[in-house]
Structure 1
């Protein structure tokens, strides 16, 4: 799949951080992880840290798929409101999903702390009402989250204007959020695994997968074989091609990053990621070196050539939208890009075995606006599945809920 357009900021900023080899001979391992993006890296790290013999294969260069285009907003807030999930799956399961996402933020911080230079930064999340008609829904959402132990504050329009320069009628301010450089985090994790003896191979395309009740065999496009006890398909949005079932809608999402802004210009936006209640939503976050990343203007066009042509016009539209919401900000894009973005009907990810392949093949589909947070949860969930242990979110995040 052609997953991105334009010039994603992270690879340009970081350059070629680490070189990984192609697979050049047949391989045996306990768990083969297909996908060398942030999801595959977190899952491989979790498995290897608990004694599993892991190998990672990626068809592109490591980190060069959707991870390179990610804007990396790390938040507990799911694209679907807690109130809506309660109606779909019951209050206990819905609240558990939200609380587990909140727990994933410090878990990601612990992973980043062990590595060098991932630009991980704790911050707040400001979720604002796009228009006055959305206020009752957001107030109800705030009350429900408080009831389930999620800490937040309600800000009115005057406070938003005064503290953030934001024109909006009200917002939920949560302290539990973070940002990171996803490309660095991925490369640092996989380079560390490689130093510890884990096989990490890029430019290695898996063309065939055969599973039995006892093992999995993978074949590369060059005819090499990987024999494993388990496989984890963490191929991001391209993972859908392995399943004969429509699980998500692919869309295109657009973003740009500014040059570093002058000291003091960001104010509280330097430590706050911002998003809105409209769908698709406008969002922004700061980088550690004082840039702003702005994203949104999603559309249903997932045709690479058409997406390519829209990058610059969508960047201009994003600039206008930011100007309307933040009259004091005058932004100029330094780089603009777009990427494939998949969303499920309920905003939840898919983790676990699919009936098409049996229990030896696990899928990691961390779709939605908080995909990295989902991947952190999924790493533990899939380890539990491989070790034949229960996990509290295994049912809710599984393919069983599709029925």
Structure 2
């Protein structure tokens, strides 16, 4: 099934960045990695740096699944508010999840600088505003929870919202100093090219896994080319499609929509700080800018039923997003340049599933990422690397398949 449809901006912006072969040989390696998106690229990078040999296989072209449709907001905020997550898993664990995501932004920044990758990365502040008056008490509670955790936040009242964003007439908001944005498609290719130069990584795309055979001390995959790859471990990082390899579903699918404007360089910055903007309603609307002075707005999610139904809604959703863009930013001459839709997975507690399952101890999963999947992928790379190296990772329990909130 197609993961997305329409005209995903990042593919049209970047074109074919790099090409990869699709004719592997029968081989033995340390790790087989299924999935050639941003999650797979971050995991591969961590494994190669640890001295492991990795064979990556991707059934599409590299980066052209969900990654090319990602709007790539780097938010430490989890889809479940901190004060609500505290009720689910306890104060200490909930705070650690939020702090860990803040750390992941810095870690990703350092990784991009160290690998010298051009991926339009920039640090950004963010504004999380109450969608309606009835949601204001919950947002105030969320602000207090974040303050107690030591997160650098400010409270914006109705007056400051009106003065700063006249088109967003809301009663309150949380202004955060920690956030960022990136071009996920360029980052994916940049990481993989860096790892290819280091050695230890082989990449094959447009090749599919037909069967997986599990043994006590190894895993073997048979590809649709007829070739076989054996390894000590298998890592499955195929987004929501990974669920077909699990006995029970762990996430719910949604359809999401996004549009992006034509460039408006004469108006840069497009709004104060060009901060990330998003709201408290669920599903939520979000906005960001790009390096070439475009406004991106997304949301209007629907429960996923089929790719066909998702795609048929694109025209209507585009018009709804255009209306919201013009209302929120009336000073911008917003004209849609590209529009697209995709499918993503959301877990009940807003946390990802990272690690092994009881039935397959040599298979690691990284899935169910929701709204801040890139940061969860940074965390997943470290947890999976440590698991394969048999090192203790203090955060592994937070995102395990057998956590209580799952």
TM (norm. structure 1) is 0.97
Of 381-390 and 71-80, deviating more is 381-390
Say if 2:384 is the partner of 1:352. Answer: no
CA distance in 2, matches of 1:266, 1:252: 31
CA gap of 1:275–1:267, structure 2 versus 1, over 3 A, is same
Are the aligned partners of 1:151 and 1:175 in contact in 2 as well (CA < 8 Å)?
yes
Are the aligned partners of 2:8 and 2:340 in contact in 1 as well (CA < 8 Å)?
yes
CA distance in 1, matches of 2:142, 2:233: 40
CA distance in 2, matches of 1:270, 1:201: 41
Which residue of the partner structure matches residue 233 of structure 1?
Answer: 236
Are the aligned partners of 2:82 and 2:94 in contact in 1 as well (CA < 8 Å)?
yes
Q: Any gaps of 5 or more consecutive residues in structure 1? A: none
For residues 76-225 of structure 1, what are the structure 2 equivalents within 5 Å? 76-113=76-113, 114-165=115-166, 166-197=168-199, 198-225=201-228
Which residue of the partner structure matches residue 364 of structure 2?
Answer: 362
Say if 2:301 is the partner of 1:303. Answer: no
Which residue of the partner structure matches residue 386 of structure 2?
Answer: 384
CA gap of 1:306–1:343, structure 2 versus 1, over 3 A, is same
- SS state at 2:339 partner: strand
Which residue of the partner structure matches residue 36 of structure 1?
Answer: 36
CA drift at 1:233: 0.2
Cα deviations by residue, 1:100-144 (Å, 9 ceiling, x for unpaired): 000000111112222332000100111000011111111111111
CA distance in 1, matches of 2:330, 2:193: 43
Q: Any gaps of 5 or more consecutive residues in structure 2? A: none
Are the aligned partners of 1:126 and 1:273 in contact in 2 as well (CA < 8 Å)?
yes
- SS state at 1:396 partner: helix
CA distance in 1, matches of 2:92, 2:271: 34
Which residue of the partner structure matches residue 54 of structure 2?
Answer: 54
CA drift at 1:36: 0.3
CA distance in 2, matches of 1:23, 1:194: 17
CA distance in 1, matches of 2:12, 2:265: 22
Structure 1 residue ranges, 4+ long, deviating more than 4 angstroms after superposition: none
Cα deviations by residue, 1:291-316 (Å, 9 ceiling, x for unpaired): 01110000013411222221121011
CA drift at 1:369: 0.3
Say if 2:305 is the partner of 1:284. Answer: no
Are the aligned partners of 2:251 and 2:368 in contact in 1 as well (CA < 8 Å)?
no
CA distance in 2, matches of 1:270, 1:187: 29
- SS state at 2:92 partner: helix
Are the aligned partners of 1:39 and 1:366 in contact in 2 as well (CA < 8 Å)?
no
CA distance in 1, matches of 2:23, 2:81: 43
- SS state at 2:258 partner: strand
TM (norm. structure 2) is 0.96
Are the aligned partners of 1:366 and 1:374 in contact in 2 as well (CA < 8 Å)?
no
Are the aligned partners of 2:74 and 2:375 in contact in 1 as well (CA < 8 Å)?
yes
Which residue of the partner structure matches residue 15 of structure 1?
Answer: 15
Q: How many residues align?
A: 402
CA distance in 1, matches of 2:376, 2:348: 16
CA drift at 1:329: 3.7
CA drift at 1:242: 1.1
Cα deviations by residue, 1:323-377 (Å, 9 ceiling, x for unpaired): 33334344221000000011001100000001232x2100011511000010001
